[in-house]
Structure 1
């Protein structure tokens, strides 16, 4: 993920991410009373897929999705999961992908240049999440997103939320600091929304815990 160098970005795989997720949940179960997952972008893809798989989300009390990735908005993104997807992507976009940092913190914490092949496992996981039987998901979910997201497809977020089998709420966010409306909280790109969204998640979780304790 972001924060590593470009070479490290290319080492990611769907299986490795799944294993990391299971390890993180195991640690959460060990040290906490309740496990609340907050998944951003492709982390949301992973959490959604895991919520539909037997044993993959044991002990998870709730999931808060922030700008979940159920489909990349860039034209031609569907080619990434097809045979010869890497070759086609490199032919069209080159062997490396890069973007300019918006500020010093963005430069520090994001990986602004990485091999094009690094996006292939992301695309594969996104497809797994979008096609997962989320109607079977029973974990309460909060979907925080922007309908103006320029990176991922908010229409698919609404679709997944509509199909979600467990209790769920949608929190559309309009005014963010990110010009792409994808990183919709955090000091780096959207500091003005951080407090509101933090409080929104906390209020939602507390209400869930009260409901569960009353059952």
Structure 2
């Protein structure tokens, strides 16, 4: 093969890359219209969630502190990828109780449905719409909004902190997905990324989970998807792309965070960089008791050791919020 042919092939391949399709992730979405009357919000959520065949303990829901009236604080919880609202139970509930606050549990589109095609067609914009709705509801049910997010819900929370700086009082993050530990997820950013992701996965992502035999710590059921359509991975990486486009130093909302040093679900190095660069008041809570060396979610009653961290972390979070608001 002569030099001209080699140059031609190189130019052809470069042109092919330039014109090949890439997934575009935009910070644009159509917003939901929610009732302006606080008394109508429960019925609004009920009608919205009745459209889906949801598993138990997964629907969007407000738990009122006493009755359907606004409280000084409100808590909004955003669950992780493939998870549901009770994944770190009872941490959000206990934080809300300590603050005498109403709490809203959202549900990101596609979650809580026991069907491998539940995530088919889901986009980042769908989740941005759900986050926006959650912030609106949070401000309806409380004067000062406390945002709690786990893993992908942590990524969603960071996006919210960047886009709603005047609406969120404080944030509580648990192992936020600044970037996944598995760097193969980068594939979706490449030319032909969607097509390659479909080809590699066969269209579905499967989670292997080990059953916890110590049932005494599971006081409430938490549903998680065992199989997700690859569109959910693409949506997740879109959220990651958006949040990493922000200058974290500019975000000033008070933040308390916890994570594990050897997490093999999200990248712990990226979390440490996020904490270092974060511009607001912050507190990083170390977790000592881990279920295993690669633990991802270190709090909540889903396992023996993480259950022991629950009261420890809850106390730190409540104290942080109270001290922040006394200043």
The CA distance in 1 between the partners of 2:316 and 2:191, in whole Å, is 42
Instruction: Tell me the SS of whatever aligns to 2:143.
Output: coil
- Between stretches 141-150 and 85-94, larger displacement belongs to 85-94
The CA distance in 1 between the partners of 2:222 and 2:146, in whole Å, is 28
Correspondence for 2:31? none
Correspondence for 1:203? 319
- The change in CA–CA distance for 1:12 and 1:187 in structure 2 (over 3 A counts) is farther
Contact conserved, 2:262 with 2:293, CA < 8 A, in 1? no
Deviation at 1:108, TM superposition (A): 5.8
Instruction: Describe the superposition over 1:46-80 as per-residue Cα deviations: whole angstroms up to 9, x where unpaired.
Output: 22122223xx3432101111000011111322112
Contact conserved, 1:148 with 1:174, CA < 8 A, in 2? no
Deviant stretches of 4+, over 6 Å: 104-107
The CA distance in 1 between the partners of 2:292 and 2:232, in whole Å, is 23
Picking from 91, 96, 112, the partner of 2:204 is: 96
Correspondence for 1:132? 246
- The change in CA–CA distance for 1:135 and 1:33 in structure 2 (over 3 A counts) is same
**How many residues are aligned here?**
209
Contact conserved, 1:176 with 1:192, CA < 8 A, in 2? no
Deviation at 1:107, TM superposition (A): 9.1
The CA distance in 2 between the partners of 1:132 and 1:41, in whole Å, is 18
Picking from 102, 113, 118, the partner of 1:4 is: 113
- Between stretches 3-12 and 164-173, larger displacement belongs to 3-12
Correspondence for 1:28? 138
Pair 1:123-2:237 in alignment: yes
Deviation at 1:178, TM superposition (A): 5.5
Structure 1 gap segments, 5+ residues each: none
- Between stretches 80-89 and 28-37, larger displacement belongs to 80-89
Paired residues for 1:1-215 under 5 Å: 1-2=82-83, 3-5=112-114, 6-53=116-163, 56-103=164-211, 109-177=223-291, 180-189=294-303, 190-211=306-327
Q: TM-score, normalised by structure 2?
A: 0.59
Contact conserved, 1:146 with 1:154, CA < 8 A, in 2? yes
Deviation at 1:179, TM superposition (A): 5.8
Give 1 or 2: higher helix fraction. 1
Instruction: Describe the superposition over 1:99-158 as per-residue Cα deviations: whole angstroms up to 9, x where unpaired.
Output: 233227799611011222320010111121123111111111112111111100111111
Which of the pair has more CA radius of gyration?
2
Q: TM-score, normalised by structure 1?
A: 0.87
- Between stretches 135-144 and 181-190, larger displacement belongs to 181-190
- Between stretches 114-123 and 35-44, larger displacement belongs to 114-123
